[in-house]
Amino acid sequence: MCLVEKEAALDELGDIVQEFLVESHENLDQLDRDLVALEQEPGSRELLSSIFRTIHTIKGTSGFLAFNRLERVTHVGENLLARLRDGTQVMTPETTNTLLRMVDVVRTLLTAIEESGAEGDVDVEGVIEAVTRCIESANAPAEPAPAASASAPAEVKAAPTPVETEAPAAAEATDATPEPVPAAAPAVEADVDTVLTAAVAAAASASSADEEHASGETAAAQARRSIADSSIRVDVDLLDKLMNLVGELVLTRNQMLRAVTATSDANLARTGQRLNLITSELQESVMKTRMQAIDHLWSKLPRVVRDLSGSVGKQVRLAMEGRETELDRSLLEAVKDPLTHLVRNAVDHGIEAPADRRAAGKPAEGVLTLRAYHEGGHVIVEVADDGKGMDPNKIADVAVQRGLLTRDQVAHMERREILNLVFRAGFSTAEKVTNVSGRGVGMDVVKTNIERIGGAVDVDSTLGEGTTWRLTIPLTLAIIQALTVECGPERYAIPQVAVHELVYLDGQNGRVIEHAMGAQVYRLRGKLLPLVRLDETLGLPMSSGDRDVYVAVLQAEGRKFGLVVDRVLNTEEVVVKALSSRFKEIGMYAGATLLGDGRVALILDVPSLARRAHLNMGAVERAQQELDAVTGTHDNVDRLLIAGVGERRVAIPLDMVTRLEEFPLERFERVGAREVVQYRDQILPVLRLAQMLGVYSEGEQASSVPVVVYTERGRSVALAVDRIVDIVEDVVGAERDFGDDGLKGSAVIQQRVTELLDVRRAIMAADPRFDADLDTEAGAGYDSDSLMVGA
C-alpha cells in the first residue's frame, strides 16, 4: 500500500522533472544565443538580465527538486551574472568563456538527469572554481587580499544602492576565505546562499534606483508569458497519430468522392465538395503542427562557430538567411548532425586563417552563410563559405591514390562528379588531421543520413572563392514527390529527389540499349550509363524488350545509373506508408504508398538499386575504355555540334552545350563595350564567333540569330553563330594546326574542313570571369590537350 503511494508520488515528481528538463533545454539554447550576442554588446543590461533570469529559474527549480550539484553550479553562475548585470564587473572574453563553460556543465547535468534520473558523478568543482576565480580576479587588482574584509564596506558606499551591493560584497567575503579550495567549497556555498536569498528578496522590493530596471524586467516577463500562454506542448506521438488519422480520412474522402460522382444526387455532391475542402484544410493544418522553423536548429550554431573558430584561430562571421523556413520536426532532428558537421567542416577546412585570407586579398574575417528556402516541394539548406574552395584536381589525385578510382575513370568524370567524390567513404583531402574533421569520417555519414530521410547532398566549389554544400530535404517524411513508373502490370514510385532525367529509348538513332560483357548500358551524351532493369532486378518475367522503354536516370551514392522501366506515368505527391518489418530484408523498397485509385504501390529504394548497378560497374568501365579506344574519345569529344559562321564551319563539343536558341535581333543589348542578351532571368554575355574568327557574318542582315548557350556553375555564355548545321558523332581524320586564337585546330568532318572551337578560350573572350575556372581545370577536366601546352 505504502509502496504504491510512494510510486505514485514518484511518478508525479517524474512529470515535474520531465517538464523541468524540457524547459531548461530550451532555456539553455536561449542562453547560448544570449551569451554570444552579449560579446558583441558587452554592456547590454537587457541581455544580462535575460541570462540572469534563465540561470535563476534553473537554480530555483533544481533546488526544489534537490539536484544539488546543479543548484550549486547555477548558484555561482548567478552570482557572477548578478555582478555583471549590476555593472560591478565588466564582461571580458574570459568571462564569456567561463559562463559558456558553466552552461555546458549545466547541460551535462541535465543530460545525466534525463538519462538516469540523478545527477550522477558529473564533475562540477572545476567550473565552480573557475566562476569563483572569475569573480575574484575582477576584484583582485582593486583590492589586495588582506584588505578584502575592509574593502567590502567601502564598496557599499561607491555602489548606487544598498540593495545591489549586498551580493557582491558577500561574494567578496566568501572569496577572501584563505583555505584551500576543496575545504572552502561548502563554506562558499553556504555564504553565497544566504546572500543570494537576501539579494533576490531585496531585488523584489526594488529600491528607487533600481525601479526603472525592475519595471522593464516585469514588462519583459509579461511579454514572455503571453507567448507561453498562447501555445501548449503536445506529445509528438499524438501528432503522429493525428497525422495518420488524417491520412486515412483523406483516402476515405477520395473513395467517397468517387462514389458521389457516380450518383446524381446534387445534395450529396455538395456535401461531398464540402467534405473535400474541409479534409484538405484539415490535412494542411495537421501537417503544420509538425512543422518547425529551421532556426530551432540553427540557433545552436553561433555557439559552435564561435568556439570552433576561436580554437582553430580563425575569424568567422555567421550569416543566416531564411531562418523562418519550416520543415517537419522529425526531419529537423535528422538534419541536425549533418548540418553541424558541415558547419564545423566549413570553419575548420573551408575558411582560411586570417593571414592567408589577407594574402589572397580577402577580408580577414570569413563569412559562413546558412541559407534555407523552399524549392519544388523540398527544403534546400545551404552551407556556403567564402574560403579557399576545393580543387577538383587534388580530389581526383586523392581518389586515385586511395585506389577508389583509376586515372582513366577520373578523366571521364565531370567536375561536379569529381567534387562529389568527397562523399565517398574513407575520403578526406585534409592535409592534416585535426580533432575537428578531416579523419575521413563525416562526409559519407552526412550523405548517408540525408539519403536515409529521402534527401540528397551536393557540393559545388570554386577554387579560391569558396564552397557551397547543399542539402535537399523533403518537406516532411510523410509526403514525398514521387515519379510513378510502370513495370509489367504493376506501378512503382521512385522518390523524385533521385530522378535526374528521363530518356525514351525508341530503339533508333542511337537511342538503344547496348551490352557490354553482359552489363546493359546506354550512351547518355557519349558516356556509358549502367542500366538496371527493374523487371529483372525484381525477379519478374521480362516484360519489356530493348525498345520502346524508358530510362529513368537516377543518382544515389554519388553515381548515376539508368533504371529501365516500361512506362513513365507521372509525378505526384504521395503519402509514404511504412512497410511491415517482414519486408525489410528484401531491401529493395523504401515504403509503400497509395495511388490515386486507391491501389498500393511500392516505393523503390534508390540506394539499393544503385548498389545493384555498381555490381555491373566493372563491365561498364571496361566497355567505356573499349569505346574510347575505338572512337578516340580519350582525348577528344565524341559528339560535335557543327555551326556555320560565314563561310567557315566550327565544331563545338556537344557536351558543353546546354541549349540552342534563336534570339531576335532586338534582344541583343549593349552594356559598355559588350553585347548581352537577357535569357531566363539571367544576363548572358554574347560572343559573336564571326567577330572572333574575323569573318564576314551573314547574320548581320538576318532578323534573328542562332545562339549556342553554354552554362557552367550557373553562369552562361551565348555564342552567336550564323546557323546550326548538324550534330555529328565521330571525328575522323582530325588534323591539328595552330590556327587562330580560340581554335584548337581543324578536322575533316563530312568531307569538309571544320574548325574545332576551343570553347574555354572563346568564352574567356566573352566573359573574363570564367578565367579563374580555367586555371583550376586545365589538365584535369574534359580535355587534356597537350598541344595547347606545347603552344
Other CB atoms within 10 Å distance of the CB of residue 767: 18
Give the integer Cα–Cα distance in Å for 649 and 553: 34
* 337-345, 536-544, 644-652, 774-782 -> range binding another protein (CB under 8 A): 536-544
What is the smallest separation between the CB atom of 236 and another protein, expressed in angstroms? 20
User: 169 or 604, CB closer to another protein?
Assistant: 604
Which of 583, 727, 761, 774 forms a contact with another protein (CB under 8 A)?
Answer: 583
Grid coordinates representing 718 are 551565348
* 532-540, 555-563, 614-622, 673-681 -> range binding another protein (CB under 8 A): 532-540
Residue 765, classified by CB atoms within 10 Å of its CB into exposed (0-12), middle (13-18) or buried (19+), is: middle
Beta-bridge partner residues of 491: 486
602 binds another protein (CB under 8 A): yes
User: 248 or 666, CB closer to another protein?
Assistant: 248
User: 320 or 595, CB closer to another protein?
Assistant: 595
What is the smallest separation between the CB atom of 601 and another protein, expressed in angstroms? 7
Which of 5, 248, 324, 375 forms a contact with another protein (CB under 8 A)?
Answer: 248
Whose cell is 479534409? That residue is 279
540 binds another protein (CB under 8 A): yes
What is the smallest separation between the CB atom of 607 and another protein, expressed in angstroms? 16
Which of 581, 701, 751, 786 forms a contact with another protein (CB under 8 A)?
Answer: 581
Which of 398, 594, 772, 778 forms a contact with another protein (CB under 8 A)?
Answer: 594
Q: Compute the half-sphere exposure of residue 150: CA atoms within 13 Å on the CB side of its CA.
A: 6
What is the smallest separation between the CB atom of 244 and another protein, expressed in angstroms? 8
User: 441 or 579, CB closer to another protein?
Assistant: 579
Give the integer Cα–Cα distance in Å for 390 and 301: 23
Give the integer Cα–Cα distance in Å for 656 and 33: 47
What is the smallest separation between the CB atom of 593 and another protein, expressed in angstroms? 8
* 322-330, 358-366, 573-581, 755-763 -> range binding another protein (CB under 8 A): 573-581
542 binds another protein (CB under 8 A): no
Which of 149, 197, 215, 252 forms a contact with another protein (CB under 8 A)?
Answer: 252
Residue from 74, 50, 80 nearest 62 by CA: 74
What is the smallest separation between the CB atom of 549 and another protein, expressed in angstroms? 18
DSSP-based three-state secondary structure for 702: coil
What is the smallest separation between the CB atom of 579 and another protein, expressed in angstroms? 7
Whose cell is 523556413? That residue is 325
What is the smallest separation between the CB atom of 331 and another protein, expressed in angstroms? 22
What is the smallest separation between the CB atom of 279 and another protein, expressed in angstroms? 12
User: 205 or 581, CB closer to another protein?
Assistant: 581
What is the residue type of 611?
A: R
Whose cell is 538576318? That residue is 702
Q: How far is CA 460 from CA 384, 407, 420, 452, in A?
A: 9, 22, 8, 22
- Helix (H) or strand (E) holding 18, with range, is helix 2-40
Give yes or no for a contact between 378 and 472, defined as CB atoms under 8 angstroms apart. Answer: yes
What is the smallest separation between the CB atom of 245 and another protein, expressed in angstroms? 9
592 binds another protein (CB under 8 A): yes
What is the smallest separation between the CB atom of 534 and another protein, expressed in angstroms? 9
What is the smallest separation between the CB atom of 598 and another protein, expressed in angstroms? 5
Grid coordinates representing 50 are 535575460
Q: For residue 217, what is the DSSP state?
A: H
* 262-270, 291-299, 323-331, 537-545 -> range binding another protein (CB under 8 A): 537-545
Give yes or no for a contact between 38 and 48, defined as CB atoms under 8 angstroms apart. Answer: yes
Beta-bridge partner residues of 494: 483
How many H helices and E strands in the chain? Answer: 26, 30
What is the smallest separation between the CB atom of 489 and another protein, expressed in angstroms? 9
16 binds another protein (CB under 8 A): no
In sequence order, the 6+-apart residues with CB closer than 8 A to the CB of 15 are: none
User: 113 or 574, CB closer to another protein?
Assistant: 574
What is the smallest separation between the CB atom of 577 and another protein, expressed in angstroms? 5
590 binds another protein (CB under 8 A): no
772 binds another protein (CB under 8 A): no
Total residues found in the chain within this entry: 791
Rg (CA), the chain: 34
256 binds another protein (CB under 8 A): no
DSSP string across 98-117: HHHHHHHHHHHHHHHHHHHS
275 binds another protein (CB under 8 A): no
Give yes or no for a contact between 417 and 404, defined as CB atoms under 8 angstroms apart. Answer: no
User: 156 or 579, CB closer to another protein?
Assistant: 579
Give the integer Cα–Cα distance in Å for 370 and 696: 50
Q: How many residues bind another protein (CB under 8 A)?
A: 27
572 binds another protein (CB under 8 A): no
Residue from 175, 147, 180 nearest 167 by CA: 175
Grid coordinates representing 304 are 559552435
How many Å from the N-terminal Cα to the C-terminal Cα in the chain?
97
What is the smallest separation between the CB atom of 576 and another protein, expressed in angstroms? 10
Which of 25, 323, 577, 723 forms a contact with another protein (CB under 8 A)?
Answer: 577
What is the smallest separation between the CB atom of 538 and another protein, expressed in angstroms? 4
Which of 46, 114, 333, 490 forms a contact with another protein (CB under 8 A)?
Answer: 490
Give the integer Cα–Cα distance in Å for 421 and 425: 9
Grid coordinates representing 740 are 587562330
The torsion region of residue 377 among left (phi > 0), alpha (psi -120 to 50) and beta comes to left
Which of 202, 239, 430, 538 forms a contact with another protein (CB under 8 A)?
Answer: 538
599 binds another protein (CB under 8 A): yes
247 binds another protein (CB under 8 A): yes
User: 589 or 679, CB closer to another protein?
Assistant: 589
37 binds another protein (CB under 8 A): no
Beta-bridge partner residues of 57: none
585 binds another protein (CB under 8 A): yes
Which of 230, 267, 580, 701 forms a contact with another protein (CB under 8 A)?
Answer: 580
Helix, strand and coil in the chain, % to nearest 5: 50, 25, 25
Give the integer Cα–Cα distance in Å for 644 and 731: 17
Residue from 711, 656, 654 nearest 510 by CA: 654
User: 471 or 601, CB closer to another protein?
Assistant: 601
User: 230 or 580, CB closer to another protein?
Assistant: 580
Give the integer Cα–Cα distance in Å for 325 and 339: 15
588 binds another protein (CB under 8 A): yes
User: 162 or 587, CB closer to another protein?
Assistant: 587
What is the smallest separation between the CB atom of 582 and another protein, expressed in angstroms? 5
What is the smallest separation between the CB atom of 575 and another protein, expressed in angstroms? 8
Beta-bridge partner residues of 735: 746
272 binds another protein (CB under 8 A): no
600 binds another protein (CB under 8 A): yes
455 binds another protein (CB under 8 A): no
DSSP-based three-state secondary structure for 494: strand
Give the integer Cα–Cα distance in Å for 118 and 112: 7
Give the integer Cα–Cα distance in Å for 524 and 113: 58
Which of 145, 586, 753, 787 forms a contact with another protein (CB under 8 A)?
Answer: 586
User: 595 or 727, CB closer to another protein?
Assistant: 595
Q: Which residues bind another protein (CB under 8 A)?
A: 247-252, 490, 538-540, 577, 579-583, 585-586, 588-589, 592, 594, 598-602
